[in-house]
Amino acid sequence: MEITNRVSGDMIVVAPTGRVDHATAADFERAVVPLLEAAGGPRAGLVFDLERVTYISSVGLRVLMIASKALRARGARIAVAAMQPVVAEILEICRFGAVVEVFTTVDAALDAMSPAAAASRPLATKAP
Amino acid sequence: MKRVRFWGTRGSLPVALTATELRARLVTAVKGARAATLATEEAVESYVDGLGFPVAGTFGGHTSCVQIETHSSHYVLCDLGSGARPFGQAAMARHGFASPQTYHIFMSHLHWDHIMGLPFFTPAYIPGNRLRIYGGHSELEAALRRQMEPPSFPVPFSYFKADIEFFHLVPGSRHEINGMTVTALRQRHGGDSYGYRFEQDGRTVVYSTDSEHTLADPADTKRFVEFFGGADLVIFDGMYSLADAISVKADWGHSSNVVGVELCQLAGVEHLCLFHHEPAYDDATIARVLDDTRRLEEITRAGHALRISAAYDGLEIEL
């Protein structure tokens, strides 16, 4: 599983790829947990860019839950964005709407969650 | 094994339909009837069937008690929740007092909602009947006796006139009981619980309730995938949503509909039956959970379709 992350203003954007399931969730967790300290410090929060995730199982959602608990305990925010329809439906069935904020795009998430992140990206890419 | 009958399907404590809920259903039904033509008996039946289960039916409120009907004349039960009372009444109505029967009873664990039916289990009071009670807990007999001691209950265990024996089942071992091969599996629950895999004549039923699954542990997943492997029916503790099961209700010893689907898909199960319903859920909520669970199976299906039901008091599933 390929997982990239980048800093946008005071936000971290994490972008996993492919299936997050019993075979890959451990890799996902190992990639995400070190980011939680950073995201909960001077950062305002963390956005999971799920555009290239085709499936997420309970073990993958458990990682989102770990991240949500850690970040919210420090007053930071957590969101998922750009989900494929199947993944969005899985999160809804799992009742994760109260665990993470949901946005249609990463830019929309950054705009809503952090003025610093919104200001840090080029004007042309800002959400209307 | 021929079929499974559900006598109690609710988790934690019994519940009942309230007068307010019943009235709301009647109002819905009568409103809908204004535009219907109900001149014949068949038309009325058809109209009622079309109202949907949360209006025309109910999942019921008795706690865990499931009957597995085998090719033997002996009865097989899983757990003695409050559903054991109507089961016992039905057995007595069928056989009377003069025709002794044998009851094989497999106990998942000894929490109150799984044993509360025993004091009201009429066959236990009848001489000649035989109760064979199986479990993995060393305190099995003591727990069943204790709930019938003062000040908890006025009738002592010694009033039972049936021949009652207790058997400790070693988890992981295969036990030949009543023509079935029975395997117990220790499960994660406060004080432990045990799931049972019943095999007979090429049919397999798994009863796995009050079981929390450690999602981070692949070995735990593997154990359950093997235990469920190729089963015709898995009766599964789907008490909570996944979000609740791994957050506010973590370590409460229960699982979710979502994990039920995943394990059954991995194990190649034919039929998943959601069981041990949250007592705070009304019928509409349980029906919505069932719809969601079927949809989850549909959008995540990789092989054959997994049939999904939600257990209700009175449900019969043919094997």
Q: For residue B73, give the H/E element and its range.
A: none
pLDDT in tens, A25-35: 999 999 999 99
Distances, alpha carbon A114 to alpha carbons A72, A106, A119, A120, A121, in Å = 15, 12, 9, 10, 12
Nearest to B243 among A26, A86, A96 (CB): A96
Q: By percentage, how much of chain B surpasses pLDDT 70?
A: 100
Domain A3-125: which CATH number of 2.40.10.10, 3.30.750.24, 3.90.1170.40, 3.30.70.1350: 3.30.750.24
Domains in chain B: boundaries: 3-16+58-318, 19-55
Distance CA B13, CA B81 (A): 9
The answer to which of B27-31, B80-84, B223-227, B300-304 has the lowest mean pLDDT is: B300-304
3-state DSSP call for residue B81?
Answer: coil
Q: Using alpha carbons only, give the angle B292, B295, B297 rounded to the nearest 5 degrees.
A: 110
Please give the residue of chain A at the shortest CA–CA distance from B247: A65
Domain B3-16+58-318: which topology?
Metallo-beta-lactamase; Chain A (3.60.15)
pLDDT(B149) > 90 = yes
Q: Which one is predicted more confidently, A44 or B271?
A: B271
Query: For chain A, percent helix, then strand, then coil, each to nearest 5?
Result: 50, 25, 25
Per CB-CB distance under 8 Å, the chain B contacts of A99 are 243, 247
Looking up tokens 């309970």 gives A58
Cβ distance B254 to B11 under 8 Å? Answer: yes
Would you place residue B204 in the very low, low, confident or very high pLDDT band (cuts 50, 70, 90)? very high
pLDDT(B11) > 70 = yes
Q: Using alpha carbons only, give the angle B130, B124, B12 rounded to the nearest 5 degrees.
A: 115
Question: Count of alpha carbons within 13 Å of A45, Cβ hemisphere only?
Answer: 26
Question: What does the pLDDT read at residue A127?
Answer: 52
Q: Which one is predicted more confidently, A71 or A39?
A: A71
Cβ within 8 Å, pair A62-B266 = no
Nearest to B296 among A59, A62, A93 (CB): A93
pLDDT in tens, B65-89: 999 999 999 999 999 999 999 999 9
Contact partners, residue A124, CB within 8 Å, separation at least 6: none
Q: By percentage, how much of chain B surpasses pLDDT 90?
A: 97
Query: Which among A45, A109, A48, A103 is positioned nearest to A72, based on CA atoms?
Result: A45
pLDDT(A60) > 80 = yes
Disruptive mutation site among A30, A57, A91 for chain B (greatest number of B CBs within 10 Å): A57
Question: What does the pLDDT read at residue B214?
Answer: 83
Cβ within 8 Å, pair A93-B218 = no
Per CB-CB distance under 8 Å, the chain A contacts of B295 are 89, 93
**Residue B307, amino acid:** R
pLDDT in tens, B19-67: 999 999 999 999 999 999 999 999 999 999 999 999 999 999 999 999 9
Per CB-CB distance under 8 Å, the chain B contacts of A88 are none
Cβ within 8 Å, pair B215-A89 = no
pLDDT in tens, B96-145: 989 999 999 999 999 999 999 999 999 999 999 999 999 999 999 999 99
Residues of A with CB under 8 A from a CB of B: 22, 26, 29, 55, 57-59, 61-62, 65, 69, 86, 89-90, 93-96, 98-99
Per CB-CB distance under 8 Å, the chain B contacts of A59 are 215-216
Question: What does the pLDDT read at residue B74?
Answer: 98
Distance CA B33, CA B47 (A): 8
Distance CA A55, CA A32 (A): 17
Residue environment code for B118-144, b if the CB has 16+ CB neighbours within 10 A, otherwise e: bbbbbbbbbeebebbbbbbbeebbebb
Would you place residue A42 in the very low, low, confident or very high pLDDT band (cuts 50, 70, 90)? low
Disruptive mutation site among B242, B249, B265, B291 for chain A (greatest number of A CBs within 10 Å): B242
Please give the residue of chain B at the shortest CA–CA distance from A86: B299
Question: What does the pLDDT read at residue A117?
Answer: 77
Sheet holding B271-275, edge to edge: B174-177, B180-187, B193-200, B203-208, B233-237, B271-275, B307-310
**Hey, what are A109's tokens?**
């998430």
Q: Which one is predicted more confidently, A115 or B293?
A: B293
pLDDT(A101) > 80 = yes
Tell me what ipTM this predicted complex has. 0.88
Distance CA B50, CA A21 (A): 39
Burial of A37 per CB tally in 10 Å (0-12, 13-18, 19+): exposed
Distance CA B117, CA B113 (A): 8
DSSP character at residue B170 = P
> What mean pLDDT is predicted for residues A70-87?
94
Cβ within 8 Å, pair B241-A94 = yes
Nearest to A93 among B216, B218, B258 (CB): B258
Domains in chain A: boundaries: 3-125
Q: For residue B310, give the H/E element and its range.
A: strand B307-310
Question: What does the pLDDT read at residue A118?
Answer: 74
pLDDT(A123) > 60 = no
Question: What does the pLDDT read at residue A44?
Answer: 81
Nearest to A58 among B242, B244, B299 (CB): B242
Would you place residue B215 in the very low, low, confident or very high pLDDT band (cuts 50, 70, 90)? confident
Question: What does the pLDDT read at residue B216?
Answer: 81
Disruptive mutation site among A22, A56, A58 for chain B (greatest number of B CBs within 10 Å): A58
